[in-house]
Amino acid sequence: MSKNNLIAGLDVGSGHIKLLVAKPKEDQSGFEVVCQLKEASYGVRKGVVVDSEKVSRTIQVLLNRAREEIGERITSVFTNIGGSHLYCTPSKGMIAVSRADQKVSELDVARVIDSARTVSLPSNSEIMEVYPKEFTLDNSGGIKNAIGMRGGRLEVSAMVLAGFAPYVNNLSEAVLACDVQVSDIVPSCLASADAVLSLKQKELGTAILDIGFGTSELAVFEEGELSHLAVIPIGSANITNDIAIGLRTDVDTAEAIKLAAGTCAFKGKDKKEKVEVEGEETLMFSRKMVAKIVQARVSEIFGEVQKEFKKINKQGLLPGGIVITGGGARIDKIVDLAKKEFKLPCKVGRPTNFYGLEEDLNYTTACGLISRSAGPVSEMSSHSVPTWTSKGGGISDKFKKILKIFIP
């Protein structure tokens, strides 16, 4: 892959496993999408790989399809990890500056960050990353970049991100079994943040809420650094399941109804809809009823987010507001409900710098994996792109058929 400067992002989700292959544009203004593929996910539950063999088979199918499409084999991928086993905990580290002239070097900074890894964690937990918040040099704190300063003792206050080691190993095994190297494993919400948040938003203080299929993941950034992370075990699949139960229909039909008629703020006169489902009787439902079901579950997700804000004393105290992304962010009027409940600026976050993918929230995490792997890309103030036509399949044929036959 290196000869063409291609980068592969593998999003292992509960609903679908997606593979995105892209390369940096020559002017370094963004990425050119070379290949985008997805397959239904089996062996992943609530963001966690529970059956490595099933996941590996799906990944292999994607890799084979990608090889046919781009003409070469993918040898390494950047992948994501999710699940409520992920958590953050504060830590501190301290070292003596090594140079005789007491000038802090890059090595000293690396050493003090590494010393912050010495923290007591639950059994079977694995440290995935350490995020420095600030440095202290000889009792002078609030330092963001200590390199080049002079002093004898260097300390760091950091946020340690950890996860359940067996789950991390399951993911690694699933990828490695396909004869592909794992370049890095990144928590899903951090990858999504790299795709949709600007450096300014991270500096101001912004939360990103990635509503996925099985979970909703929250990350809070302040002064450019991660300050909190949480995974809520409720996702867009729960909304679909609620609709299926409420309307007494199958999950596929409920998903199609959610996409076509789901909203977080129903207004106007109630309207009865009819949907013809192949092999079944005509299904009649109330748009107002569907809206109540959707709003109740989305409000539950927002309620859990509020609890996380309360833990860190950030209720209503994020100038950058909340950015909602992921497949669940496609629900109509979700931003209006978020503004009402959080009393903060809210908007839908779309991938930037990936031409043709700006409106596809399903690939946010994959875009973020590629963004992170390639390093910082120059931020663009605006994008003007043509309408995107999916090469990866999109909504299933059954969904298309259902959506075409809504009877007024």
- Asked if residue 281 has pLDDT above 90, the reply is no
pLDDT tens digits for range 170-206: 999 999 999 999 999 999 999 999 999 999 999 999 9
212-250 pLDDT, tens digit each: 999 999 999 998 889 999 999 999 999 999 999 999 999
User: What is the mean pLDDT of the segment spanning 53-67?
Assistant: 97
Residue 403 pLDDT? 45
CA geometry: angle 367, 324, 23, nearest 5 deg = 10
pLDDT tier for residue 374 given thresholds of 50, 70 and 90? low
- Any idea what DSSP says for residue 388? P
pLDDT of residue 3: 52
| Res. 40: pLDDT tops 60 | yes
On whether residue 213 sits in a domain, the answer given is no
Q: Which of 224, 221, 227 is nearest to 203 (CA)?
A: 224
pLDDT tens-place string over residues 341-360: 999 999 999 998 898 787 88
Task: Please give the tally of structural domains in the chain.
Answer: 1
Residue span of the structural domain in which 127 resides:
87-164
- Report, as an integer, the average pLDDT of 245-268: 90
Q: Are 343 and 316 in contact (CB under 8 A)?
A: yes
pLDDT tops 70 at residue 279: no
The answer to whether residue 103 sits within a structural domain is yes
For residue 144, is it within any domain? yes
- Does position 386 have pLDDT exceeding 70, yes or no? no
Q: Is the pLDDT of residue 273 over 90?
A: no
Highest mean pLDDT among 275-279, 336-340, 376-380: 336-340
* Confidence (pLDDT) at 384: 31
**pLDDT for the residue 22:** 93
Answer whether residue 242 is part of any domain: no
Average pLDDT over residues 249-275: 87
Q: What is the pLDDT of residue 383?
A: 33
Q: What is the CATH number of the domain that holds 149?
A: 3.30.1490.110
Is residue 150 included in any domain, yes or no?
yes
Going by pLDDT thresholds of 50, 70 and 90, the confidence category of residue 116 is very high
Nearest to 208 by CA among 321, 91, 317, 86: 321
Residue 113 lies in a domain: yes
Task: Using the predicted structure, report yes or no on whether residue 405 has a pLDDT greater than 80.
Answer: no
Q: Would you say 82 and 180 are in contact if contact means Cβ atoms under 8 Å apart? A: no
**pTM for the complete prediction?**
0.85
Residue 276 lies in a domain: no
- Other C-beta atoms closer than 10 Å to the C-beta of 99 total 11
**Per the domain annotation, does 122 fall within a domain?**
yes
